[in-house]
A and B are shown apart, each in its own frame.
Chain A
Amino acid sequence: GAVVSQHPSWVICKSGTSVKIECRSLDFQATTMFWYRQFPKQSLMLMATSNEGSKATYEQGVEKDKFLINHASLTLSTLTVTSAHPEDSSFYICSAREGQGTSQPQHFGDGTRLSIL
Protein backbone atom coordinates (compact mmCIF):
# COMPACT_ATOMS: atom_id res chain seq x y z
CA GLY A 1 0.00 0.00 0.00
CA ALA A 2 0.81 3.73 0.13
CA VAL A 3 1.96 4.08 -3.46
CA VAL A 4 2.69 7.47 -4.96
CA SER A 5 2.97 7.78 -8.73
CA GLN A 6 4.73 10.64 -10.45
CA HIS A 7 4.52 11.47 -14.15
CA PRO A 8 6.44 12.02 -16.32
CA SER A 9 9.63 10.29 -15.19
CA TRP A 10 11.78 12.60 -17.22
CA VAL A 11 11.27 15.45 -19.62
CA ILE A 12 13.50 17.46 -21.91
CA CYS A 13 12.22 20.71 -23.30
CA LYS A 14 13.30 24.03 -24.70
CA SER A 15 13.90 27.12 -22.64
CA GLY A 16 10.73 29.15 -22.16
CA THR A 17 8.44 26.14 -22.14
CA SER A 18 6.08 25.41 -19.26
CA VAL A 19 6.18 21.89 -17.87
CA LYS A 20 3.54 20.16 -15.77
CA ILE A 21 4.37 17.31 -13.38
CA GLU A 22 1.66 15.14 -11.85
CA CYS A 23 1.72 13.43 -8.46
CA ARG A 24 -0.93 10.86 -7.62
CA SER A 25 -1.61 8.82 -4.51
CA LEU A 26 -2.82 5.53 -5.96
CA ASP A 27 -4.28 3.68 -3.02
CA PHE A 28 -4.92 6.31 -0.39
CA GLN A 29 -6.26 9.82 -0.01
CA ALA A 30 -3.78 12.56 0.67
CA THR A 31 -4.93 15.87 2.06
CA THR A 32 -1.32 17.04 2.12
CA MET A 33 1.31 16.59 -0.56
CA PHE A 34 4.81 18.01 -0.75
CA TRP A 35 7.08 19.04 -3.59
CA TYR A 36 10.86 18.77 -3.34
CA ARG A 37 13.75 19.60 -5.61
CA GLN A 38 17.09 17.83 -5.62
CA PHE A 39 20.22 18.95 -7.41
CA PRO A 40 23.03 16.48 -8.20
CA LYS A 41 24.84 15.16 -5.14
CA GLN A 42 22.67 17.26 -2.84
CA SER A 43 19.84 16.53 -0.45
CA LEU A 44 16.14 17.08 -0.99
CA MET A 45 14.98 20.65 -0.57
CA LEU A 46 11.32 21.24 0.27
CA MET A 47 9.73 23.65 -2.17
CA ALA A 48 6.12 23.77 -1.05
CA THR A 49 3.35 22.09 0.87
CA SER A 50 0.22 21.39 -1.12
CA ASN A 51 -3.11 21.16 0.67
CA GLU A 52 -6.21 19.85 -1.04
CA GLY A 53 -8.67 22.62 -1.81
CA SER A 54 -6.46 25.48 -0.68
CA LYS A 55 -3.43 27.46 -1.77
CA ALA A 56 -0.02 25.89 -1.46
CA THR A 57 2.46 27.11 1.12
CA TYR A 58 5.86 27.88 -0.37
CA GLU A 59 9.21 27.73 1.36
CA GLN A 60 11.31 30.83 1.59
CA GLY A 61 13.06 31.63 -1.66
CA VAL A 62 10.71 29.58 -3.86
CA GLU A 63 8.84 31.71 -6.39
CA LYS A 64 5.14 30.87 -6.29
CA ASP A 65 4.54 32.40 -9.72
CA LYS A 66 7.33 30.28 -11.16
CA PHE A 67 6.26 27.00 -9.59
CA LEU A 68 2.47 26.73 -9.76
CA ILE A 69 0.93 24.08 -7.56
CA ASN A 70 -2.61 22.78 -7.81
CA HIS A 71 -4.11 20.19 -5.46
CA ALA A 72 -7.63 19.84 -6.79
CA SER A 73 -8.43 16.39 -5.43
CA LEU A 74 -7.40 14.10 -2.61
CA THR A 75 -5.33 11.99 -4.97
CA LEU A 76 -3.73 14.48 -7.34
CA SER A 77 -1.36 17.41 -7.05
CA THR A 78 0.37 19.08 -9.97
CA LEU A 79 3.48 21.23 -10.20
CA THR A 80 3.87 23.47 -13.23
CA VAL A 81 7.26 25.00 -13.89
CA THR A 82 6.40 28.10 -15.90
CA SER A 83 8.72 29.53 -18.53
CA ALA A 84 11.41 27.06 -17.58
CA HIS A 85 15.07 27.97 -18.00
CA PRO A 86 18.23 25.86 -17.79
CA GLU A 87 18.70 26.73 -14.11
CA ASP A 88 15.36 25.02 -13.41
CA SER A 89 16.85 21.73 -14.54
CA SER A 90 16.67 19.41 -11.55
CA PHE A 91 15.12 16.29 -10.05
CA TYR A 92 11.62 17.08 -8.78
CA ILE A 93 10.05 14.72 -6.28
CA CYS A 94 6.62 14.71 -4.71
CA SER A 95 5.39 13.02 -1.58
CA ALA A 96 2.03 12.42 0.03
CA ARG A 97 0.90 11.79 3.57
CA GLU A 98 -1.62 9.08 4.26
CA GLY A 99 -4.32 9.97 6.73
CA GLN A 100 -4.62 12.78 9.24
CA GLY A 101 -2.56 11.52 12.12
CA THR A 102 0.53 13.48 13.08
CA SER A 103 2.80 10.46 12.84
CA GLN A 104 1.86 9.30 9.35
CA PRO A 105 4.98 9.14 7.17
CA GLN A 106 5.35 10.73 3.78
CA HIS A 107 5.51 8.39 0.82
CA PHE A 108 7.48 9.55 -2.18
CA GLY A 109 7.07 9.27 -5.91
CA ASP A 110 9.97 8.19 -8.10
CA GLY A 111 10.72 11.73 -9.19
CA THR A 112 10.79 13.65 -12.45
CA ARG A 113 14.08 14.54 -14.04
CA LEU A 114 13.66 17.88 -15.81
CA SER A 115 16.22 19.04 -18.35
CA ILE A 116 15.82 22.46 -19.95
CA LEU A 117 17.88 23.08 -23.05
Chain B
Amino acid sequence: DAKTTQPTSMDCAEGRAANLPCNHSTISGNEYVYWYRQIHSQGPQYIIHGLKNNETNEMASLIITEDRKSSTLILPHATLRDTAVYYCSSGGSNYKLTFGKGTLLTVNP
Protein backbone atom coordinates (compact mmCIF):
# COMPACT_ATOMS: atom_id res chain seq x y z
CA ASP B 1 0.00 0.00 0.00
CA ALA B 2 1.33 3.40 -0.99
CA LYS B 3 2.29 5.90 1.68
CA THR B 4 0.48 9.21 1.49
CA THR B 5 1.63 12.65 2.62
CA GLN B 6 -0.71 15.53 3.42
CA PRO B 7 -0.32 18.94 5.05
CA THR B 8 -1.14 18.88 8.73
CA SER B 9 -3.69 21.66 8.59
CA MET B 10 -5.36 24.14 6.26
CA ASP B 11 -7.77 27.03 6.63
CA CYS B 12 -10.48 28.06 4.23
CA ALA B 13 -13.05 30.85 4.22
CA GLU B 14 -16.68 29.84 4.15
CA GLY B 15 -18.06 29.84 0.60
CA ARG B 16 -14.65 29.57 -1.01
CA ALA B 17 -13.17 26.50 -2.63
CA ALA B 18 -11.00 24.28 -0.45
CA ASN B 19 -8.16 22.53 -2.26
CA LEU B 20 -6.57 19.71 -0.28
CA PRO B 21 -3.39 18.18 -1.71
CA CYS B 22 -2.04 14.67 -1.24
CA ASN B 23 1.22 13.11 -2.36
CA HIS B 24 1.20 9.39 -3.12
CA SER B 25 4.39 9.02 -5.10
CA THR B 26 4.73 5.28 -4.43
CA ILE B 27 1.26 4.39 -5.66
CA SER B 28 1.18 1.38 -7.96
CA GLY B 29 -0.65 1.14 -11.23
CA ASN B 30 -3.71 -0.68 -9.98
CA GLU B 31 -4.22 1.25 -6.75
CA TYR B 32 -7.08 3.68 -6.45
CA VAL B 33 -6.91 6.97 -4.57
CA TYR B 34 -9.61 7.34 -1.91
CA TRP B 35 -10.60 10.38 0.10
CA TYR B 36 -12.42 10.25 3.42
CA ARG B 37 -13.14 12.79 6.10
CA GLN B 38 -13.67 12.37 9.81
CA ILE B 39 -15.57 14.71 12.04
CA HIS B 40 -14.66 14.46 15.70
CA SER B 41 -15.81 11.26 17.41
CA GLN B 42 -17.42 9.84 14.29
CA GLY B 43 -16.41 7.21 11.78
CA PRO B 44 -14.80 8.34 8.51
CA GLN B 45 -17.14 9.40 5.74
CA TYR B 46 -16.39 8.34 2.17
CA ILE B 47 -16.03 11.29 -0.21
CA ILE B 48 -14.68 10.20 -3.57
CA HIS B 49 -12.20 7.91 -5.29
CA GLY B 50 -10.45 7.59 -8.61
CA LEU B 51 -7.77 5.74 -10.56
CA LYS B 52 -6.52 7.93 -13.38
CA ASN B 53 -9.24 10.27 -14.53
CA ASN B 54 -10.58 13.25 -12.66
CA GLU B 55 -13.79 12.51 -10.82
CA THR B 56 -16.69 14.61 -9.58
CA ASN B 57 -19.66 13.79 -7.40
CA GLU B 58 -22.14 15.74 -5.32
CA MET B 59 -19.61 16.25 -2.54
CA ALA B 60 -16.34 17.05 -4.25
CA SER B 61 -14.01 16.83 -7.22
CA LEU B 62 -10.84 14.78 -7.39
CA ILE B 63 -7.97 15.85 -9.61
CA ILE B 64 -5.26 13.22 -10.16
CA THR B 65 -2.01 14.21 -11.86
CA GLU B 66 -1.06 12.41 -15.04
CA ASP B 67 1.82 10.60 -13.32
CA ARG B 68 -0.58 9.68 -10.48
CA LYS B 69 1.93 10.75 -7.87
CA SER B 70 -0.38 13.32 -6.35
CA SER B 71 -3.99 14.36 -6.21
CA THR B 72 -6.13 17.25 -5.02
CA LEU B 73 -9.52 17.10 -3.40
CA ILE B 74 -11.65 20.13 -4.16
CA LEU B 75 -14.63 21.19 -2.09
CA PRO B 76 -16.12 23.83 -4.40
CA HIS B 77 -18.00 25.90 -1.81
CA ALA B 78 -16.81 25.08 1.69
CA THR B 79 -19.24 25.40 4.58
CA LEU B 80 -18.65 25.36 8.32
CA ARG B 81 -19.83 21.75 8.39
CA ASP B 82 -16.92 20.78 6.15
CA THR B 83 -14.53 21.35 9.05
CA ALA B 84 -12.99 17.91 9.57
CA VAL B 85 -9.85 15.83 9.19
CA TYR B 86 -9.47 14.77 5.57
CA TYR B 87 -7.65 11.56 4.76
CA CYS B 88 -6.15 10.56 1.45
CA SER B 89 -5.50 6.85 1.05
CA SER B 90 -4.78 4.31 -1.61
CA GLY B 91 -5.85 0.73 -2.04
CA GLY B 92 -5.55 -2.05 -4.52
CA SER B 93 -6.43 -5.67 -4.95
CA ASN B 94 -5.98 -6.50 -1.26
CA TYR B 95 -8.65 -3.90 -0.49
CA LYS B 96 -6.72 -2.57 2.50
CA LEU B 97 -6.47 1.16 3.13
CA THR B 98 -3.65 2.85 5.00
CA PHE B 99 -4.44 6.12 6.69
CA GLY B 100 -1.85 8.80 7.35
CA LYS B 101 -2.32 11.69 9.75
CA GLY B 102 -4.62 13.55 7.38
CA THR B 103 -5.28 17.28 7.00
CA LEU B 104 -7.33 19.21 9.51
CA LEU B 105 -9.41 21.58 7.41
CA THR B 106 -10.88 24.47 9.33
CA VAL B 107 -13.55 26.46 7.53
CA ASN B 108 -13.81 29.95 8.97
CA PRO B 109 -16.91 32.18 8.84
Query: Interface size for chain A: under 10, 10 to 19, 20 to 34, or 35 or more residues?
Result: 20 to 34
Q: Are B44 and A44 in contact (CB under 8 A)?
A: yes
Known: A43-B100, A103-B32. A108 touches B44 (CB 8 A): yes
Give which listed residue, A43, A49, A109, contacts B102 with CB less than 8 A. Answer: A43
The complex places the Cα of A54 from the Cα of B32 at a distance, in Å, of 26
B-side residues, CB < 8 A to A, are 30, 32, 34, 36, 41-46, 49, 51, 87, 92-93, 95-102
Q: Are B34 and A105 in contact (CB under 8 A)?
A: yes
Q: Are B95 and A43 in contact (CB under 8 A)?
A: no
Q: Nearest Cβ in chain B — how far from A76, in angstroms?
A: 17
Give which listed residue, B32, B44, B95, contacts A49 with CB less than 8 A. Answer: B95
Mostly, the A contact residues are strand
Q: Nearest Cβ in chain B — how far from A96, in angstroms?
A: 11
> Chain A residues near B34 (CB, 8 Å)?
105-106
Q: Are B95 and A32 in contact (CB under 8 A)?
A: yes
Q: Nearest Cβ in chain A — how far from B84, in angstroms?
A: 13
Q: Are A108 and B93 in contact (CB under 8 A)?
A: no
> Chain A residues near B87 (CB, 8 Å)?
43-44
Residue of A nearest to B48 (CB): A105
Q: Nearest Cβ in chain B — how far from A2, in angstroms?
A: 8
> Chain A residues near B92 (CB, 8 Å)?
102
Give which listed residue, B30, B42, B49, B99, contacts A43 with CB less than 8 A. Answer: B99
